[in-house]
Amino acid sequence: PAMLGMLGGGQLGRFFVVAAHEMGYKVTVLDPDANSPAGKIADVHICAAFDDKGALLKLANTCEAISTEFENVPADSLSFLAETKPVRPSAYSVAIAQHRVSEKNFLKHAGLPVAPFEVINEVEDLPNDDSDIYPAILKVARFGYDGKGQARVKNQHEAQTAFAQFEREECVLEKMLKLDYEVSVVLARDVQGNVATFPTSENSHLNGILDVSIAPARGRDAISHQAQKLAILVAEKLAYTGVLGVEFFVCNGELLVNEIAPRPHNSGHYTIDACVTNQFEQQVRAMTGLPLGSSRQHSSAVMVNLLGDIWPEDADSAPEWQVALNNPMLKMHLYGKQQARAGRKMGHFTVINVSRDEAIKQAMQVRAELKIGE
Ligand code: ATP
Ligand code: MG
Ligand code: MG
């Protein structure tokens, strides 16, 4: 069978390997971590840095097409691979998504609404206390995820302290908004430009990390519909091929784009158990030039992340999360990570039901039993 290449060996890559195998492909994973979740189940695991020329050449020579699960893979590596093989999404799209300044500028120029922000290159760029940007969040432009590299600041002085803590790396200072709620849209766009959009999900976060996703989103249908239109616009403006996640704030009843992810998205994990085609199968289809599958959702779904915080100290002892399996409509997904750390994504579960209210009730019951968020 043909071989597909995946840059990154995290849980997103692991679900990709499963989907690719089901579609009759083999997978080579490139990841520097010898114990990465995807590397462990891949057909070939190249254990090397993402800019290792030898490793990239091996990928280019043995794979039919290459994709990524990690938005911080060097865009130069993607350009290099693209000289020989289809790379989807493109280096261009990934480069935009991996840098908050290029991301914000792209969104603004594409006519998409974003939160008020300032680009901070040096300490003099921090607005003084007269600015109505405060209270704000200072976010480093590169390598942030799960709320890392972010500081909430009430005034210029606090912003200066945070900027120094971030070692004066380029940052974005974003106005702290009072959010009604948050939603996201995951979509797939194929080589011909056909788009399949998954239903909008409603997300809540804990300490900057996704906690619960409800799909389809509650709240106004008009918002969900508009979010899908905006997500498609993002994909079209990027001439995107692959799976794209778009995160939104809903603020005073209006949608603002928070950020984009050039890959399947944590808030799209519900598609594994609740949709005809899940986001990882769409990724396989889009990168190989196959037609997309139906994104139709057949059950309401609520996904809850399982973080290292609730893991027993001895990871091999009878895990307490097994009580969750008393609910027969709950689907458990564990990522095979050996070390649990606070805030580290170890797995997730999804409760499905014909009734969204019932799925919410049951998922929140299990979440409480597992003492999540306490
Ligand atoms: P990830 O990539 O893992 O989604 P991240 O580190 O890139 O996370 P953001 O998406 O920028 O972080 O922010 C994480 C969460 O923090 C948001 O989903 C939202 O709940 C909150 N947040 C971020 N920016 C703002 C803002 N300007 N106003 C209000 N809340 C915000
Ligand atoms: Mg992010
Ligand atoms: Mg985010």
Is residue 79 within 8 A of residue 53, CB to CB? The reply is: no
Sequence-distant (6+) residues with CB within 8 A of 296 are 275, 276
Sequence-distant (6+) residues with CB within 8 A of 235 are 187, 189, 195, 244
Would the CATH topology of 3-87 be identical to that of 181-369? no
What is the spatial distance between Cα 231 and Cα 186, in angstroms, rounded to a whole number? 8
Q: Is the pTM of this model over 0.80?
A: yes
Is residue 348 within 8 A of residue 333, CB to CB? The reply is: yes
What is the spatial distance between Cα 155 and Cα 159, in angstroms, rounded to a whole number? 6
Task: Sketch the domain layout of the chain as residue ranges.
Answer: 3-87, 116-175, 181-369
**Which atom of ligand 1 lies closest to the CA of 177?**
28
147 lines ligand 1 (CB under 6 A): yes
Residue 145 known to bind ligand: yes
Question: How buried is residue 8: exposed, middle or buried, by Cβ count under 10 Å (0-12/13-18/19+)?
Answer: buried
**Which atom of ligand 1 lies closest to the CA of 178?**
29
Burial 40-66 (b: 16+ CB within 10 A, else e): bbbebbbbbebebeebbebbbebbbbb
CATH of the domain spanning 116-175:
3.30.1490.20
Ion ligand 3: residues, CB within 5 A, are 247
State the pairing for strand pair 117-120/171-175: antiparallel
Residue 10 known to bind ligand: no
Candidate CATH numbers 3.90.1520.10, 3.40.50.880, 3.40.50.2020, 3.30.470.20; the one for domain 181-369: 3.30.470.20
What is the spatial distance between Cα 178 and Cα 47, in angstroms, rounded to a whole number? 44
Ligand at minimal distance from the CA of 97 is 2
Fold of 3-87: Rossmann fold (3.40.50)
ipTM of the shown complex: 0.98
Sign of the dihedral defined by the CA atoms of residues 187, 188, 192, 194, in that order: negative
Helix, strand, coil content of the chain in percent (nearest 5): 30, 30, 40
Q: At what angle do helices 53-62 and 75-82 cross, to 10 degrees?
A: 40
- Residue whose C-alpha is closest to residue 30's, from 17, 18, 338: 17
pLDDT digits (tens), the chain, 374 positions: 899 999 999 999 999 999 999 999 999 999 999 999 999 999 999 999 999 999 999 999 999 999 999 999 999 999 999 999 999 999 999 999 999 999 999 999 999 999 999 999 999 999 999 999 999 999 999 998 888 899 999 999 999 999 999 999 999 999 999 999 999 999 999 999 999 999 999 999 998 899 999 999 997 899 999 999 999 999 999 999 999 999 999 999 999 999 999 999 999 999 999 999 999 999 999 999 999 999 999 999 999 999 998 887 666 655 677 889 999 999 999 999 988 888 999 999 999 999 999 999 999 999 999 999 98
**Residue carrying structure tokens 């091996």:** 58
